[in-house]
């Protein structure tokens, strides 16, 4: 039927609250790993990287494909983003 192999389906993370929470916790862990490295960049560069490639696209995909409102770990993701944004925006101490 298909002339080429069909790639495996990478669909939404629909399921119970535990699977949604696990997906959010994985995003939090990845954000924490990268967030520690952002402090070595300039404020503008780190905010652009955080906004355009790390936090927002992954969060949007997760929110669009699963019922995240059932999970309480989404607040931890939000808090983590807030902490990293504050770290990026703090001026260097003199």
For 43-87, write each residue's pLDDT tens digit: 888 888 877 776 667 777 877 888 877 788 888 888 888 888 888
Give φ, ψ of 63 to 5 degrees. Answer: -70, -35
**DSSP annotation of 68:** G
- When the pLDDT of each residue in the chain is averaged and rounded to a whole number, the result is 75
Predicted pLDDT of residue 66: 81
- Contact between 75 and 28 (Cβ < 8 Å): no
Predicted pLDDT of residue 54: 66
Find all residues with CB under 8 Å of 64, minimum gap 6, and list them: 12
**Token reading at 10:** 């990478």
What is each CA distance from 43 to 38, 60, 86, 88, in whole angstroms?
A: 9, 23, 10, 5
């Amino acid at each position: 039927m298909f002339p080429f192999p069909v790639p495996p389906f990478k669909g939404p993370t629909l399921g119970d609250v535990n699977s949604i929470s696990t997906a959010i916790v994985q995003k939090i862990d990845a954000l924490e790993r990268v967030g520690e490295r952002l402090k070595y960049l300039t404020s503008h560069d780190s905010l652009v990287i955080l906004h355009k490639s790390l936090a927002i696209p992954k969060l949007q995909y997760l929110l669009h494909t699963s019922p995240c409102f059932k999970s309480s770990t989404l607040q931890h993701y939000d808090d983590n983003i807030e902490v990293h944004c504050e770290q990026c925006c703090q001026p260097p101490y003199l």
